[in-house]
Amino acid sequence: MPELNVDTNPDIKTKVLSEDILRESGARPIYLTKVEVNGGGSFSDNFFQKLFSPVLKTGDYTLSDLITKINQSRENLVKTDVFENIHVHLYPDYYTLLPSNIKKYNLEKSIPTKVIIDLKPINLNISESFINFNNEEYLNLKLNHLNNNFNGNAEVVSVGVDYNPYKPFDHLIAHGKFISSLKNPSLKFLIDFNYGQENNEFWQGTKQEILGGKIGLLYTHQIKNLDVFTGFQLFKRNLHNLDDSNSDDFKFFTGEFLKSSVIKQVKYSNLDFLNQETKNFPTDGYQFTLDSELSSNQEQTNANNRGEYFKTDFKADFYKSIFNNFITAKFEANIGGINSFNPKFPIHPSDKFYLGGYESFPGFAKNSIDLTGGDQYYKFQTTVFSKIPSFFYTPPQKENANPLRLYGTTIIGNITNSSSKTNIFNDENGAVSYGVGLRYFNNWANFDIGYYISRRFGDDESISRNGIKDGLQFSISIGGSNRR
């Protein structure tokens, strides 16, 4: 009886209809004698028993039922995100005697059959380091370590540090994360701890210390590229080094305040990439992200001094390419708002929205669209990427993996405050930046150099030049990793 492969064709039953095993078995049932796993020595028995539970519930099957159960177990393996390759085979098991007490469906004996699963895990222990330079924060160092198989159960433990030693934006941010799959690997339990020290004196006139984290359930649907996190968040925040020049809203939060939140985060993507392995340059499709939270902010030493609010932040990205990916257009829309249930209690500076700086609004200094932040914001950006004409530059054969692109971009946006009786729908002020540049997309060594012209518009002449930092903008990132 020949080998029966069931891993490469999504319609497994269609494939096995042509196999000799089905013709030879006739109407005889299948008796599963064993499940063998090759390449899974790093994982515990409990890990596989949980994933193979659809197959291991019983040993008596029809061929169709067995294939259905194998499919379910294989999907469980895929959902763990720790295997590069998964191959499943069915073999007749000639060396195993059938138990005398198995159920007889007809006069024919069951066919003893074993399942062999060949696995190739990903790199289970990954270390990464990045050094980032730009004309705003000078030097930034990021270190991350990821253990994808903690305790032998494909539980994820990651630790990381984001460090900038140079003023005026020096900071130290550390995080630790633990993720464990439930019985259904699409559902994961997540704990994320964070500690941060940030020097915000240059633009906010304060220093800040944050300690806390979040806990909850993460749902992942790989086929539909959907991630949904629901959980609880708790942070202790301390603003210090405030002086008389700070606004009353800032001085209100002198000392320690405790933030507790119920949070919901949803991300859906449907993107095509220039290269499916590197996935660093989307060419077509769309992606949506929605973050929302219902939060309470209270003074640590006075529980009666508290306020509640609801915050939402929505982002949408759209990509479209023409002329065989020679030109790729990207449109990005961001909009967010905070609805306070206690107007007399101000919004904590860390919860407000900010715009400005290389990462959010090139052409303006960091967070300078409104240095005090706001409870509403909008930003729209259109960027057109183009290949460099071949008579200027001929890319190597693997150019698709790490593309080099010319670009032109336009950004428009603003920060508003409901206390000033304006909102994003009737706002007549704002900021705009126009830029052209050259960008190299590479996960481990990339650069972006561009020239921006920026201005404010509206009827407030007193701030017409505030925060504008147009001219040459650049960013370089160099990193290394033992990822495969």
Cα(120)–Cα(122) distance, integer angstroms? 7
In a domain, 159, yes or no: no
Give me the number of domains the chain comprises: 2
Q: 398 pLDDT band (50/70/90 cuts)?
A: low
Question: 463 in a domain, yes or no?
Answer: yes
The residue out of 68, 93, 121 marking a domain boundary is 121
189/94 same-domain check: no
205, part of any domain? yes
Q: Domain check: are 289 and 365 in the same one? A: yes
Q: Kind of pairing, strands 226-240 and 471-481?
A: unpaired
Note if the pTM is more than 0.85: yes
Q: What is the mean pLDDT of residues 396-405?
A: 76
Residue at 147 is within a domain: no
What is the mean pLDDT of the segment spanning 167-172? 90
Q: Is residue 89 part of a domain?
A: yes
Same structural domain for residues 86 and 225? Answer: no
* 396, pLDDT greater than 70: no
- pLDDT at position 266, please? 97
**CA gap 240, 259 in Å, rounded:** 17
Asked, for residue 260, whether it belongs to a domain, the answer is: yes
C-beta of residue 376 within 8 angstroms of C-beta of residue 424: yes
User: Above 70 in pLDDT, residue 301?
Assistant: yes
Q: Which two tokens stand for residue 146?
A: 């990821």
Neighbour-count burial for 126-141, b at 16+ CB within 10 Å, e otherwise:
bebebebebebbeebe
Per residue in 78-91, pLDDT (tens digit) is 989 899 999 988 88
Same domain (yes/no): 476, 362:
yes
Q: Judge if 326 and 183 occupy the same domain.
A: yes
320 φ, ψ (degrees, to nearest 5): -150, 130
- Per cent of the chain over pLDDT 70 is 89
83 and 195 assigned to the same domain: no
The answer to whether residues 107 and 205 belong to one domain is no
Residue position matching structure tokens 């960008």: 439
User: Do residues 201 and 64 share a domain?
Assistant: no
Q: Examine the domain organization and report whether 363 and 452 are in the same domain.
A: yes
Helices (H), 270-381: none
The verdict on residue 353 lying in a domain is yes
The CATH number given to whatever domain includes residue 100 is: 3.10.20.310
Please give the residue range of the domain that contains residue 77.
4-121
Residue 240 shares a structural domain with residue 367:
yes
Residue 93 lies in a domain: yes
The residue among 305, 304, 272 whose CA lies nearest residue 286 is 272
- The pLDDT of residue 16 is 43
Q: Which two tokens stand for residue 80?
A: 């763990």
Range in 40-54, 247-261, 390-404 with the lowest mean pLDDT? 390-404
Specify the higher pLDDT residue, 331 or 25.
331
Neighbouring CB atoms inside 10 A of 212's CB total 18
Structural domain ending residue among the three candidates 121, 148, 181: 121
| Predicted confidence (pLDDT) per residue in 422-458, tens digit | 777 777 788 999 999 999 998 888 999 999 999 998 7
Taking CA atoms, 332 is separated from 326, 368, 411, in Å, by: 20, 20, 9
d(CA 44, CA 36): 14
| In a shared domain, residues 224 and 345 | yes
CATH code, 365:
2.40.160.50
Residue 26: per-residue pLDDT: 45
Residue 370 has what DSSP assignment? Answer: -
In this predicted structure, what is the pLDDT of residue 13? Answer: 44
Domain identity same for 117 and 171:
no
